[in-house]
């Protein structure tokens, strides 16, 4: 149990904290609280017509303005999105995918959209565990299922993660070399988790943002590739492609809806729709099919057919392996040390671990991974006090990282731990590949991006963050 503060009411409440960035019921049931008295000072009455009245203790009632909330206002607390406020995400749901596929069926070929689905390896592992399939089988059957629905191409975001990892590696080395001149160059904080980014922007904006890596997440790199390079190869404009990402959490829907990922020139998003692993199961149920019964289909590659017999992955855990890749690259690039095996040292708990590199008896690199809200809070507090000893931190909002994302398939009680272990095991079966060794990745850098240091590479593979104005945050009485 741990204390959590509702962003809307300021009331301190005890929640059974599973260490996700915790939502509050107050998000959907706002009651003002007199903090000194510790009791509700006003209640909300809902009329039959849906209008809200605030009723004070002496019985006076006042009609409240209707709140307009968009995805971008959300604090990424997950809870409201997973339950009552699902109306917020109508543009990002499996129903929306159905609509597009149906429109395609009824449209002439000239006005059809090319539908591309990019599946994350975390979702694939979760589905493999649910249906008791091998990951490769799962990938092939999933491809067959999406194609049966009318999808044209099914890709794997492991491919785009190569770019996220490579860009993060280079950015770290640049920042390390600049650390004497630039106060906030280090620690560099990972940027692939939109739950963490949303928290950072809305609660510690201008202080934290300079520390956050600008490398895009695999989802958004995939968006750049599909709507850019792949569209060009198909002789299509970005808006002629409908791009769906299958992701392990609802926060990825928020990420896709960020204005930074909207292509103004073509009035389209890099990723049009995000569906979770759970929503894939809903699609299967709606179609009345089990993944087990699907005839496997050959896998699609964005530029070449992947090997039929193996799935590629990356070393370093279920959240993408950012720490491990950056650590090994930096050890070689900055200190000429080849690191084979990375030794993790658990600190407070398994979600807070440390990795160090020593040279001549001195620690020259100190990295950490910090998963879950409690560890993130501790990290931020240390940073603010100038007491963080780290050069890099892989920050992820979910306890246990992305394999345990809020959109993954669940089991009840004790069985949930077993299920997570099984998902981790299945995820690890993919053959680890070094991003720099992938021929297609090299080809994209050379042929489409004009090299890793080019302006086009910067635009396609990096993004920016925006601190939320203090006034806005204060008006919501946010206290973290
Ligand atoms: Fe999504 Fe959780 Fe992974 Fe963050 S850590 S990207 S919220 S699954």
On whether the pTM is more than 0.85, the answer is no
In the beta sheet, which residues pair with residue 368? 354, 393
Q: Is the peptide bond before 187 cis (omega within 30 degrees of 0)?
A: yes
1: pLDDT confidence band, cut at 50, 70 and 90? very low
Q: Mean pLDDT throughout 380-400?
A: 95
pLDDT digits (tens, 9 = 90+) for 352-370: 999 999 999 999 999 999 9
Q: What pLDDT is recorded for position 32? A: 44
| 255 and 74 Cβ atoms separated by less than 8 Å | no
Query: Is the CB of 77 within 6 Å of ligand 1?
Result: no
| 229 and 448 Cβ atoms separated by less than 8 Å | yes
Q: Which of 124, 79, 82 is nearest to 318 (CA)?
A: 124
- 246 has a pLDDT exceeding 50: yes
Q: What pLDDT is recorded for position 34? A: 44
**Ligand 1: residue whose CA is nearest its atom 4:** 193
Q: Which atom of ligand 1 is nearest to the CA of 195?
A: 7
- 444 has a pLDDT exceeding 80: yes
Q: Mean pLDDT throughout 335-347?
A: 95
**Ligand 1: residue whose CA is nearest its atom 7:** 195
Q: Which atom of ligand 1 is nearest to the CA of 401?
A: 5
pLDDT digits (tens, 9 = 90+) for 215-234: 999 999 999 999 999 999 99
Query: Is the CB of 435 within 6 Å of ligand 1?
Result: no
**What are the DSSP E strand ranges found in 25-152?**
33-34, 39-40, 42-46, 52-56, 61-63, 114-119
Return the CA Rg of the chain: 23
Under 8 Å CB-to-CB from 353, ≥6 apart: which residues?
Answer: 344, 345, 346, 347, 368, 369
Q: Mean pLDDT throughout 326-332?
A: 98
Share of the chain above pLDDT 70, in %: 79
pLDDT, the chain, mean: 85
| 322 and 212 Cβ atoms separated by less than 8 Å | no
Under 8 Å CB-to-CB from 173, ≥6 apart: which residues?
Answer: 329, 330, 333, 334
Query: Is the CB of 193 within 6 Å of ligand 1?
Result: yes
Of 212, 248, 404, best ligand 1 pocket probe by most atoms within 8 Å of the beta carbon: 248
pLDDT digits (tens, 9 = 90+) for 448-480: 999 999 999 999 999 999 998 654 444 444 343
* Rounded Cα–Cα distance for residues 180 and 225 (Å): 35
Q: What pLDDT is recorded for position 111? A: 78
**Least confident span in 72-76, 119-123, 265-269:** 72-76
Q: Which atom of ligand 1 is nearest to the CA of 248?
A: 8
Of residues 105 and 319, more confidence is placed in 319
Query: Is the CB of 249 within 6 Å of ligand 1?
Result: yes
- 314 has a pLDDT exceeding 70: yes
Q: What pLDDT is recorded for position 49? A: 58
């Amino acid at each position: 149990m741990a204390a959590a503060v509702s962003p809307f009411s300021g009331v301190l409440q005890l929640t059974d904290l599973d260490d996700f960035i915790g939502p509050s019921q107050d998000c959907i049931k706002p009651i003002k609280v007199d903090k000194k008295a510790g009791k509700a000072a006003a209640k909300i009455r809902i009329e039959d017509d849906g209008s809200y009245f605030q009723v004070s203790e002496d019985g006076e009632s006042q009609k409240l303005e209707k709140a307009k909330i968009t995805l971008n206002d959300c604090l990424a607390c997950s809870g409201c999105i997973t339950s009552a406020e699902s109306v917020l995400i109508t543009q990002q749901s499996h129903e929306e995918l159905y609509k597009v596929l149906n429109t395609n069926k009824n449209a002439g070929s000239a006005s059809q959209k090319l539908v591309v689905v990019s599946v994350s390896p975390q979702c694939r592992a979760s589905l493999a565990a649910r249906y008791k399939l091998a990951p490769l089988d799962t990938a092939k059957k999933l491809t067959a299922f999406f194609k049966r629905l009318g999808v044209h191409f099914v890709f794997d975001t492991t491919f785009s993660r190569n770019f996220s990892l490579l860009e993060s590696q280079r950015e770290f080395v640049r920042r390390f070399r600049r650390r004497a001149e630039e106060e906030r160059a280090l620690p560099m904080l990972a940027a692939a988790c939109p739950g963490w980014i949303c928290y950072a922007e809305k609660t510690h904006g201008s202080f934290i943002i300079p520390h956050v890596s600008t490398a895009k997440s695999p989802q958004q790199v995939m968006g750049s590739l599909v709507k850019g390079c792949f569209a060009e190869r198909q002789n299509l404009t970005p808006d002629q492609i409908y791009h769906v990402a299958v992701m392990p959490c609802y926060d990825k829907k928020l990420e896709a809806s960020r204005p930074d990922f909207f292509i103004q020139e073509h009035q389209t998003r890099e990723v049009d729709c995000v569906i979770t692993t759970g929503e894939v199961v809903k699609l299967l149920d709606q179609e009345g099919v089990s993944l087990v019964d699907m005839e496997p289909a050959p896998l699609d590659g964005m530029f070449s057919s992947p090997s039929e017999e193996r799935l590629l992955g990356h070393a370093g855990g279920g959240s993408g392996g950012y720490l491990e890749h950056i650590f090994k690259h930096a050890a070689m690039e900055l200190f000429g040390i080849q690191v084979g095996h990375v030794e993790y040292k658990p600190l407070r708990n398994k979600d807070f671990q440390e990795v160090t590199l020593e040279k001549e008896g001195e620690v020259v690199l100190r990295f950490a991974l910090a998963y879950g809200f409690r560890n993130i809070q501790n990290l931020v507090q240390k940073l603010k006090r100038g007491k963080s000893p780290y050069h890099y931190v892989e920050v992820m909002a979910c306890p246990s990282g992305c394999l345990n994302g809020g959109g993954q398939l669940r089991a009840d009680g004790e069985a949930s731990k077993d299920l997570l272990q099984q998902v981790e095991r299945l995820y690890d079966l993919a053959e680890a590949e070094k991003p720099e060794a992938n021929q297609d990745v090299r080809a994209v850098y050379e042929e489409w991006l004009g090299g890793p240091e080019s302006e086009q590479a910067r635009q396609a593979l990096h993004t920016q963050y925006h601190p939320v104005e203090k006034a806005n945050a204060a008006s919501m009485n946010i206290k973290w």
